[in-house]
Structure 1
Amino acid sequence: MTAAERRASGSLAIIFAARMLGLFLVLPVFALEAARYPGGNDAALVGMAMGIYGLTQGILQIPYGLASDRYGRKRVIALGLLVFAAGSFVAAAAPSVWWLVAGRSLQGAGAVSAAVTALLADQTRDVVRTKAMALVGASIGLMFAVSLVAAPMLVEVIGLHGLFTITGLLALGCIAVVFWWTPPAPVQHANVPRGRLADVLAHGPLLRLDVGVFVLHAVQLAMWMAVPALLVQAGLDKDRHWQVYLPTVVASFVAMGAVFALERRGYLRAVFLAAIGIVLLAQLGFLLAARAPSLPVLTALLFFFFCGFNVLEATQPSLVSRLAPPAARGAALGVYNTLQSLGFFAGGAVGGWLAKNVGSAGLFGAAALMMLVWLLAAWHMRAPQTPKTAEEVLADEAEAG
């Protein structure tokens, strides 16, 4: 990476990480803590409060992406972060689960993921883009690990309302990073058409990736309606769940080390399909483990899930940015993040309903079926050709000349 690419990747990774830390801080404790609010005895309503964020974000991702194509990435990102912060403070003051639903929905209205990802794609070359996206994914995963350790301890001291306050403050801090650290966005010439949504919706490979990210995040969020309870049943108190989460997340990042080399050797498709298969097998494992939870088995299954999930988180947005028409990159990532957000919503809402009505085994069975459908749909994908590096181009020219 060049110095400018490292600066762009680092600053935007911080924005993603800080924003996601705020969201992840409530994830491992939300279902348990929301039960203390009026209306918290309804698992389906709690699931709605957890997942409604994804619904409002899904509705607004495409408008934010289109706006970033037309009016500039940084302006749109700052506006979205302000809305996200407002929703965080509403949730912090919530007196009931219904107010948590309102706060979470307003959080989702700050739908900046598409604009941030598009800005990162604008500022990095194709040859290093997967690495840049992986840096963002790694920062998100690191924040997830931090939240798993910090959330149980923080919630005992400051409660769920305190966690939402931290979330709002982090969002405001991200605005400063956008304007004072992130490099300026590339100049967009006035005669270049922007935001051609029709080009995106008619693009088969892009739509396949959109369906995939919906499934992945629906499965991810639905899991957390059941996994904490399984760990408790296996004998691990909720304030010690980080002892399972942290090592599995960290170990999964170590296992990602081979991804970049395999991509450069032309094996991106194989890695992508293998990651989907690993997540599928993890869901089948959880289905079997739900009958008699065992701590070593649950730990191993979480490790395999995070391995597959982290690889997919790094490769999918990179593929979208490389396959999308350059003039509609923000729109393409808007559609992609819309399906991602709707996946969050479906995972929370449907996951809560499944946990209430058919139990953990039924939930993981539904998740495994979704992963199988995705694997079949993705089987015929073709990865874009990896462009040559500057050194390779010079070597070819020297050989030819």
Structure 2
Amino acid sequence: MTHSSKQHLRRTQWTIFGLVIVAYMLSFFHRVAPAALSTDLQASFSATSAQLGIIAAVFFFVIMLMQIPTGIMADTLGSRKILGFGCAVAAAGCFVFASAHNVLLASIGRGLIGFGAAIPFVALLRLNASWFAATQFATLSGLTILFGNLGAILSTSPLEILSHTIGWRPIIAVSGILTALIGTLIIWFVRDKPADYGLPSPDGAANYNSDIHKKIPWQNQLSTVIRNRDTWPCFWVGFGICGTFFTFTSLWGVPYLMQTLGISKQQAAAHILVMIFCHSLTALFLGRASDRMENRKGLLLCLATLYVVMWIPMLAGLHVFTGASFLIFALQGIGSTSYTLIWAIAKEVNPVQSAGMAIGVTNTSMFLAAAILQPVIGFIIDRNPTNGMLFGVGLLTVVSVFGLIYGLKLVETYGHNIYAKRFNK
């Protein structure tokens, strides 16, 4: 590869990454927004806690249903087409949600947003696998989480403050316009692999672009991923660790703090901001450290243990650790990044041509957990207004422990694809 072609490849790599990461940031914004807007949404739709949980959970339920189809489409149709379509659907959902005046229409709007928001992450990881060297994958996953969580940070304190100034409906409508714009830019500039721009593949990425893999029917590839026993520990770690993190930060974290500590919504949103900020920053360094150390499982287990332990002061209502609430949220944010390594593991324990499907299957677990837990906790709160919030945190603790236990069953890949060697393929 000549010096000029290397420079051209690098510019194109990061242009594509930058465009798609904006779409991912917008999906993260919508994922967490109900937490900062919880009281506004309840007032606008006259919703109970259970109904609020349903409005938030519809987003996760649709994303969950879309993960495997998105992985299949990313591996067969290519990321560019499905990203453009997803942005269009998400933009339409924003306009429906912003104009809704009852729980049903709000849920439909959130569902459409969820449909579109399901696509950027899997599509981006698939693009990363094609455009970057294999040894950069975990680092890029960490960088993806860092930027994605900047969107989540915008939907904490900044969103809470702005919603008091102009209201939540104009904010959601403007986000729809931005989503439509970025979708147009993606269709214009993004290509699925370097060859589409007449560029050489980076070292380590050639396997993802090989034409021979396109001859394998997607049904066979998906069956291989699902029947692979090494895929499922990744799935259940995602369910237990990431699913509880999503449930707490995207809806019930703010009400929990307002009820247990008696603080304002703005102060509570600041706690969630700290948790997400620490999560995103740690994810960046974790991915890089994992690639350099060639260690996946050990790092994951250390951080997952920290995450689980940090539920203990939450169960005590944080009163035992008066004044340390921000520290607890920071540590739990750091520990929560453990799950970000399961994408690399899932990719490395499955055939290289099935990267999108492996990530899609694994990702399903996170959104499945949030889709179940958000309305269940809302139901618990409605049935027991006094202690329901603490009971909900207890449920999150149990599910987190479940995820940690499955972390012990993960296969250490040492940063390399081990499918062929492990199964003698």
Query: TM-score per shorter chain, which class?
Result: 0.7 to 0.9
Query: Do the aligned partners of 1:53 and 1:108 also contact (CA within 8 Å) in 2?
Result: yes
Query: Do the aligned partners of 1:289 and 1:297 also contact (CA within 8 Å) in 2?
Result: no
- Counterpart of 2:26, as a letter, is A
- Counterpart of 1:14, as a letter, is V
Query: Do the aligned partners of 2:145 and 2:283 also contact (CA within 8 Å) in 1?
Result: no
Pick from 332, 355, 362: which aligns with 1:305? Answer: 332
Q: Matched residues in 1 for 2:50 and 2:169: separation?
A: 21
Which has the higher mean CA deviation after the structures are superposed, 342-351 or 278-287? 342-351
Residue 333 of structure 1 corresponds to 359
Q: Matched residues in 1 for 2:136 and 2:330: separation?
A: 27
Question: Is structure 2 residue 235 aligned with structure 1 residue 229?
Answer: no
Residue 93 of structure 2 corresponds to 87
Which has the higher mean CA deviation after the structures are superposed, 332-341 or 251-260? 251-260
Pick from 288, 293, 304: which aligns with 1:276? Answer: 304
Q: CA deviation at 1:373?
A: 1.4
User: Which secondary structure state, in structure 1, belongs to the residue aligned with residue 167 of structure 2?
Assistant: helix
Query: Do the aligned partners of 1:22 and 1:163 also contact (CA within 8 Å) in 2?
Result: no
Question: Is structure 2 residue 227 aligned with structure 1 residue 202?
Answer: yes
Residue 143 of structure 2 corresponds to 135
Q: Matched residues in 1 for 2:230 and 2:77: separation?
A: 27
Q: CA deviation at 1:60?
A: 2.3
1:204-262 CA-to-partner distances (Å, cap 9, x unmatched) read 22221112212234312332444323433424321333443444544455555753335
Q: CA deviation at 1:5?
A: 4.4
Question: Is structure 2 residue 60 aligned with structure 1 residue 62?
Answer: no
- Counterpart of 2:39, as a letter, is L
**Change in 2 beyond 3 A, CA 1:48/1:249:** closer
Pairwise mapping of residues 284-323 of structure 1 onto structure 2 (< 5 A)?
284-289=312-317, 292=319, 296-313=323-340, 315-323=341-349
Listed as ranges, the gaps of 5+ residues in structure 1 are: 389-401
**Change in 2 beyond 3 A, CA 1:255/1:70:** closer
Which has the higher mean CA deviation after the structures are superposed, 125-134 or 2-11? 2-11
Q: Matched residues in 2 for 1:295 and 1:102: separation?
A: 41
Which has the higher mean CA deviation after the structures are superposed, 319-328 or 361-370? 319-328
Which has the higher mean CA deviation after the structures are superposed, 217-226 or 266-275? 217-226
Question: Percent same amino acid among aligned pairs?
Answer: 17
Residue 109 of structure 1 corresponds to 115
User: Which secondary structure state, in structure 2, belongs to the residue aligned with residue 204 of structure 1?
Assistant: coil
Query: Do the aligned partners of 1:30 and 1:50 also contact (CA within 8 Å) in 2?
Result: no
Query: Do the aligned partners of 2:142 and 2:284 also contact (CA within 8 Å) in 1?
Result: no
Query: Do the aligned partners of 1:278 and 1:305 also contact (CA within 8 Å) in 2?
Result: yes
Residue 391 of structure 1 corresponds to none
- Counterpart of 1:27, as a letter, is P
Q: CA deviation at 1:317?
A: 1.9
Pick from 8, 31, 37: which aligns with 1:30? Answer: 37
Query: Do the aligned partners of 2:313 and 2:321 also contact (CA within 8 Å) in 1?
Result: no
**Change in 2 beyond 3 A, CA 1:307/1:7:** same
User: Which secondary structure state, in structure 2, belongs to the residue aligned with residue 37 of structure 1?
Assistant: helix
- Counterpart of 1:298, as a letter, is S
Residue 123 of structure 1 corresponds to 131
Query: Do the aligned partners of 2:142 and 2:283 also contact (CA within 8 Å) in 1?
Result: no
Q: Give the TM-score of the pair, scaled to structure 2.
A: 0.82
Q: Matched residues in 1 for 2:373 and 2:41: separation?
A: 17
User: Which secondary structure state, in structure 2, belongs to the residue aligned with residue 324 of structure 1?
Assistant: coil
Q: Matched residues in 1 for 2:246 and 2:284: separation?
A: 25
Q: Matched residues in 2 for 1:144 and 1:323: separation?
A: 30
**Change in 2 beyond 3 A, CA 1:17/1:27:** same
Q: Matched residues in 2 for 1:208 and 1:109: separation?
A: 26
Q: CA deviation at 1:7?
A: 4.0
Q: CA deviation at 1:362?
A: 1.1
Q: Matched residues in 2 for 1:8 and 1:323: separation?
A: 27
Q: Matched residues in 1 for 2:382 and 2:272: separation?
A: 24
Question: Is structure 2 residue 168 aligned with structure 1 residue 160?
Answer: yes
Q: CA deviation at 1:311?
A: 4.0
Q: Give the TM-score of the pair, scaled to structure 1.
A: 0.86
Pick from 414, 422, 425: which aligns with 1:385? Answer: 414
**Change in 2 beyond 3 A, CA 1:361/1:175:** same
Listed as ranges, the gaps of 5+ residues in structure 2 are: 1-5, 196-208, 418-425
Q: CA deviation at 1:134?
A: 0.5
Q: Matched residues in 2 for 1:214 and 1:231: separation?
A: 24
Q: Matched residues in 1 for 2:297 and 2:158: separation?
A: 36
